A and B are shown apart, each in its own frame.
Chain A
Amino acid sequence: MTARRATVAGHTYEFPTLVEVMAKATPARSGDVLAGCAATSEAERVAAQTVLADLPLTTFLDEQVVGYDEDDVTRLVLDTLDAAALEPVRALTVGGFREWLLARAAAGDEPAITGLARGLTPEMAAAVSKLMRNADLVAVGRRARVITGLRSTIGLPGRLASRLQPNHPTDDALGVTASLLDGLLHGSGDAVIGINPATDSPAQTIALLELIDAVISRYEIPTQSCVLAHVTTTLRALEKGAPVDLVFQSVAGTQGGNEGFGVTLDLLTEARSAALELGRGTVGSNVTYFETGQGSALSAGAHLGVGGRPVDQQTLECRAYGVARHYDPLLVNTVVGFIGPEYLYDAKQVIRAGLEDHFCGKLLGLPMGVDVCYTNHTDVDPDDTDTLTLLLGAAGCSFVIAVPGSDDVMLHYQSLSFQDVLTARQVLGLRPAPEFEAWLQRMDLVDDAGRVRELTADAPQARALLAAAR
């Protein structure tokens, strides 16, 4: 392998391997500095981008970032790649691919963009995203159409769904129910009603699944439930007859990262099959849900690629999508601001990462959502999450996460509020998933214009729902 070079501002920079080209071409973020793979100057970053722009896309078929023999994610991706799907762009460079995507997006040619998904490797998506500006990521992201369904349909044009996340620090049934009802009254929950359990046990998982299922059944809500326990816990619950709509798992972009999460690819296959057998879908049969996030491989010490070199966190994130897409998920979301300032330091980095993750996920064929969120030691505030939310809405993001008043009292971080979802829908002219929208109409929770009503507690619609809390 010969070193690749580019000259910027009179200085020639050399990049010995593909791993270094990818890492140093990545827009600045703290996690790559921590990993020791970031560009050491802005000029070096542009030099790496210049090298990357001239690489043929097929470079990524011939040359690996993480070795084929060492890593089952690389094998999964390459062994299941659809060569025909890549054909329209096979002859292009990465820079040419960016222009091709922008041209198709401007022409509104969704089928051309969407048709590539199964022919692209995660590294190809990562590479082109590194050349793109934020507006490029929005413009192309909104034309990569991915539609999935179980009891509601996710990803249709003009729709923005939300995961209602009624977490409680002790999984208290009444506490969970209160947050759940608050969300429904605000028109949230069309993507999923999904709880992060405080305790990862089959008994607790079953109790929470039955709780959500009871509310969904009582009010005939066209949505699905999920308890985001470890996949092995969900499998145990499923064996005991629990009403499992979706099997959930956090996934990473390397075999080592997935081992850190306690999962193998075979285990995910088994879980998907088990959920499919229950046949709980009405409008579709997507039964898996994955969460990802830049930095997860590094935090597990599983971020090294060919030659033991550190791989940048955004490329590794795309490889997690290469895992997820194998299991036909209903939902995938990046938890973009959760991991902390050592991976994404401030609002600029979080906003950039959120747009990259959405774009790359969609390009690779995933029903991509984003948990627009932050912790208190990251330099992000609600003004910044407003910015990212509105950008993601414009980018056609499939769903976002919402909790009461932005405050997750179990996981101790801030995500979007139910009001934030209403604002994004209103400003951008977006609507909930169609089945859920019809339910909101049936329950008279929206007015004739489709706006979620602001109800007093003694309004009949509110009383009908609040009865579930008694």
Chain B
Amino acid sequence: MSDAFDVLRSATRARVALGRAGDGLPTDRLLEFRAAHAAARDAVHTPLDVDALVDELAGTGLDVLTVTSAAPDRATYLQRPDLGRQLAEGTRLPGGEHDLALVVADGLSPRAVADHAAGTVSAVLERLAGWSVAPLVVATQARVALGDPVGEALGARIVVVVIGERPGLSSADSLGLYLTWGPRTGRADSERNCISNVRPPHGLSYAQAAETLAGLLLASRELGASGVVLKDEGPALE
């Protein structure tokens, strides 16, 4: 296709001016699409290497615990979000009194967690001098709301869930951070604050995400709340 269509291509990330083979796609465009879709599918279905992540997180000096949700496998996890919000039966966590619990959850992109979670957690902890932080928790087959029973059991005033976001066609590795004040089972999504699209170099850097989160954490601790009320006071969110 002639370069004059570059007017369109340079104007948007959308897949414009792909050309045609008859009424279908040219072979190279077809394979490009398949590669992007394959990356997104693999990001959803390749299980998180929990041991490797635990080793990485141990570098923070904090204890690292592992839990699973009540969803026994990926297929159930995808069809039963309610199970992904509950801890597996018999899960035990050490109670305590902490300012903050950090839960690293595979979510819909274990790949995002493998790529970016340790770097993000380190960047966050660097900015929280003087905070008492509970043992780190790695959770699998987990939804955002699994952080509520985890944070509650650990005795944390705030829980932050670091979770793999639903992969897009050109963003299979996007991480999200969800802050909830006073974690307990049954918290509504409107009671959370979210920082999305942590995926350097294309999205937010670890430092940017950690900086924004640290600001939200301070504001949440001061206000004794999170969610819509905090959003109005806090820094601009992605």
- Chain A residues proximal to chain B, CB less than 8 Å: 30, 33-34, 166-169, 172, 174-179, 181-182, 341-342, 345, 375-377, 381-382, 403-407, 409, 412, 414, 417, 419, 422-423, 425-426, 454, 456-458, 462-463, 466, 469-470
Contacts and interface: CB of A to CB of B under 8 A. Distances in A.
Contacts of B81: 34, 342
B129 interface: no
Nearest to A179: B14
A181 B14 CA distance: 12
B79 A34 contact: yes
A376 B168 contact: yes
Given A182-B16, A409-B14, A456-B2, A342 B79 contact: yes
B16 A469 contact: no
Interface stretch (B20-28, B116-124, B149-157): B20-28
Contacts of B168: 376, 412
Contacts of B202: none
B16 A404 contact: yes
B17 interface: yes
B8 A34 contact: no
Tell me which of A405, A409, A462, A469 has the highest count of chain B C-beta atoms within 10 A of its own C-beta: A405
Nearest to A453: B20
A319 to B, nearest CB: 24
A377 B25 contact: no
Contact of A175 (B14, B17, B36): B14
A412 B14 contact: no
B37 to A, nearest CB: 7
Contacts of A462: 4
Given A172-B12, A403-B14, A407-B169, A457 B108 contact: no
A377 B108 contact: yes
Given A419-B23, A457-B4, 15 more contacts: A167-B14, A341-B79, A342-B80, A376-B40, A377-B167, A405-B33, A407-B15, A409-B13, A409-B170, A417-B18, A419-B25, A425-B23, A456-B2, A462-B4, A463-B4
B16 A376 contact: no
Nearest to B172: A376
A456 B20 CA distance: 11
Nearest to A375: B166
A423 to B, nearest CB: 4
B76 to A, nearest CB: 10
A454 B13 CA distance: 22
Given A175-B14, A376-B37, A181 B80 contact: no
Interface of B: 1-5, 7-9, 11-20, 23-25, 29, 33, 36-37, 40-41, 43-44, 78-82, 108, 166-172
A376 B1 contact: no
Contact of B12 (A34, A179, A414, A457): A179
A365 to B, nearest CB: 32
Contacts of A457: 1-5, 17
Given A423-B23, A457-B2, A345 B78 contact: yes
Given A376-B37, A376-B168, A409-B13, A181 B8 contact: yes
A409 B170 CA distance: 9
A182 B8 contact: yes
Contacts of A425: 23
A178 B166 contact: no
B169 A454 contact: no
Given A178-B12, A457-B5, A458-B2, A407 B170 contact: yes
A466 B24 CA distance: 22
Contacts of B44: 376-377
B14 A466 contact: no
A382 B35 CA distance: 13
A419 B29 CA distance: 12
Most buried by B among A175, A342, A376, A403: A376
Contact of B16 (A169, A179, A377, A458): A179
B8 A417 contact: no
B28 to A, nearest CB: 12
Nearest to B81: A342
B18 A381 contact: no
B155 to A, nearest CB: 30
Given A377-B166, A454-B20, A414 B37 contact: yes
Nearest to B165: A412
A177 B14 CA distance: 11
A220 B81 CA distance: 48
Nearest to B25: A419
Contacts of A463: 4
Nearest to B36: A407
A168 B23 contact: no
A407 B20 CA distance: 16
B33 A168 contact: no
Nearest to B80: A34
Which of A166, A377, A470 has the most chain B CB within a 10 Å cutoff?
A377
Contact of A177 (B11, B17, B40, B79): B11
A177 B17 CA distance: 13
Contacts of A409: 12-14, 170
A177 B10 CA distance: 12
Max chain A Cβ within 10 angstroms of own Cβ: one of B18, B25, B79, B80 = B79
A404 B15 contact: yes
A263 B108 CA distance: 31
B7 A466 contact: yes
B166 A376 contact: yes
Contacts of B16: 178-179, 182, 404-405
Contacts of B78: 341-342, 345, 377
